[in-house]
């Protein structure tokens, strides 16, 4: 395959970075990773690595120039400002991976023009918390846009899922269905679900790089494509283990202190008041080339990857088997 150019990933050793570097290699790019050397994953043959901490500088890259710098690890404005200053004259395009969380999700629907809440008064610009994650990402976007202008591309993924995802925010469901038995499902099967397979995100992003497409794009599955019922049914089909799903109403789960999103992945009850988080309009990204693979492929590949984890692995999200059984018993007797 002819060389498609050179790309530097800031990060690139875990999850989205793995999918991104693989997509770049498939499309003929020369790929370099700049990372701290913390993640144990070994990059594939043909990928050059430069070890360093972006908060202190970019030693080893002073005399290099890249067709694209792809920033997968920018969370704080002053850190992104440092990289923007360094690469302003060292790359043709700077791609910043932001988040759909920059928006005010109290709106019923989100698009690229939706409002972004400011950083709360008194909040630190140099330390990220769950409450400041979105506003800080928005400030980072501003830094990139100001530094690169039409050479900036900003991508805002929704929930990213698929193989190598260590958050368990989707993985819980195919793994749970593989265990079989009575399964507690939150809310109602028609409740919408939105997420993007990490490999679809990577392919879309590389396409933007190849065509030097500027601007900002919300990237997740199109509205109405998936429901929570679709997810569980597909995961059950992939697992091919006998199971029975019991749909438990929101009020019961909230009353019993099941945490939305983390206690039961993909579940956000209406009482949270953030309907937009799972109702983002992605027409702009679809028009620019975003494609979404079949849900069955995502579920099957995620399950295959998850089954390779150690037997004593403790999930980061979801209910334990004991807690799930307890809730199901309480719900049945209520």
Q: Same structural domain for residues 131 and 106?
A: yes
Q: Same structural domain for residues 115 and 12?
A: yes
92 burial via Cβ count (<10 Å: 0-12, 13-18, 19+): middle
For the segment 112-127, the average pLDDT, to the nearest whole number, is 95
**Residue 316: which domain range?**
172-193+224-275+295-333
Q: Same structural domain for residues 203 and 329?
A: no
Q: Same structural domain for residues 253 and 318?
A: yes
Please indicate, yes or no, if residue 288 is contained in any of the structural domains: no
Strands 226-227, 192-193: parallel, antiparallel or unpaired by DSSP? Answer: antiparallel
Residue 134 to residue 295: CA distance in whole angstroms: 27
Query: How far is CA 130 from each of CA 83, 203, 275, rounded to the nearest angstrom?
Result: 23, 28, 18
Q: Same structural domain for residues 207 and 303?
A: no
Share of the chain above pLDDT 90, in %: 91
Q: Same structural domain for residues 27 and 94?
A: yes
For the segment 87-111, the average pLDDT, to the nearest whole number, is 98
Q: Same structural domain for residues 134 and 182?
A: no
Q: Same structural domain for residues 143 and 50?
A: yes
Query: Within a 10 A sphere around the Cβ of 63, how many other Cβ atoms?
Result: 6
Q: Same structural domain for residues 87 and 102?
A: yes
pLDDT score of 4 = 81
pLDDT score of 196 = 98
Question: Backbone dihedral region of 63: left (phi > 0), alpha (psi from -120 to 50 degrees) or beta?
Answer: alpha
DSSP 124: -
pLDDT digit string (tens) for 183-197? Answer: 999 999 999 999 999
- What are the E-state strand segments in 104-242? 152-157, 160-161, 181-186, 192-193, 196-197, 215-219, 226-227
Q: Same structural domain for residues 136 and 176?
A: no
105 burial via Cβ count (<10 Å: 0-12, 13-18, 19+): buried
Q: How many domains is the chain partitioned into structurally?
A: 2
pTM for this structure? Answer: 0.96
pLDDT score of 13 = 85
Q: Same structural domain for residues 188 and 200?
A: no
Is the Cα dihedral 253, 257, 258, 259 positive or negative?
positive
Whether the pLDDT of residue 65 is over 80: the answer is: yes
């Amino acid at each position: 395959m002819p060389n498609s150019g050179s790309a530097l990933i800031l990060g690139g050793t875990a999850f989205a970075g793995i999918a991104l570097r693989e997509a770049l290699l498939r499309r003929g790019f020369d790929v370099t990773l700049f990372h701290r050397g913390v993640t144990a994953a070994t990059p594939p043959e043909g990928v050059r690595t430069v070890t360093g901490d972006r908060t202190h500088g970019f030693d080893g890259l002073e005399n290099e120039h890249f067709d694209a710098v792809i920033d997968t690890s920018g969370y704080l404005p002053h850190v992104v400002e440092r990289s923007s200053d360094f690469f302003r004259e060292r790359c043709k395009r700077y791609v910043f991976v932001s988040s759909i969380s920059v928006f005010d999700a109290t709106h019923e629907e989100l698009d690229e023009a939706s409002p972004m809440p400011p950083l709360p008064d008194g909040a630190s610009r140099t330390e990220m918390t769950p409450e400041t994650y979105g506003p800080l990402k928005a400030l980072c976007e501003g830094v990139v846009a100001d530094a690169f202008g039409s050479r900036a591309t900003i991508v805002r993924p929704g929930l990213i899922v698929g193989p190598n995802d260590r958050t368990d925010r989707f993985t819980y469901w195919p793994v749970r269905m593989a265990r079989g038995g009575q399964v507690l499902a939150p809310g109602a099967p028609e409740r919408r679900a939105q997420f993007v397979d990490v490999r679809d995100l990577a392919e879309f992003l590389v396409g933007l790089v190849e065509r030097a497409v500027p601007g900002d794009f919300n990237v997740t599955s199109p509205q109405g494509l998936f429901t929570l019922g679709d997810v569980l049914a597909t995961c059950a089909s992939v697992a091919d283990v006998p199971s029975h799903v019991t749909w438990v109403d929101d009020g019961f789960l909230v009353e019993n202190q099941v945490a939305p999103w983390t206690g039961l992945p993909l579940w956000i009850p209406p009482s949270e008041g953030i309907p937009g988080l799972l109702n983002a309009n992605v027409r702009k990204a679809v028009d620019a080339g975003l494609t979404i693979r079949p849900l069955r492929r995502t579920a099957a590949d995620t399950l295959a990857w998850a089954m390779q984890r150690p037997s004593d692995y403790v999930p980061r999200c979801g209910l334990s088997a004991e807690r799930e059984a307890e809730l199901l018993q309480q719900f049945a007797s209520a």
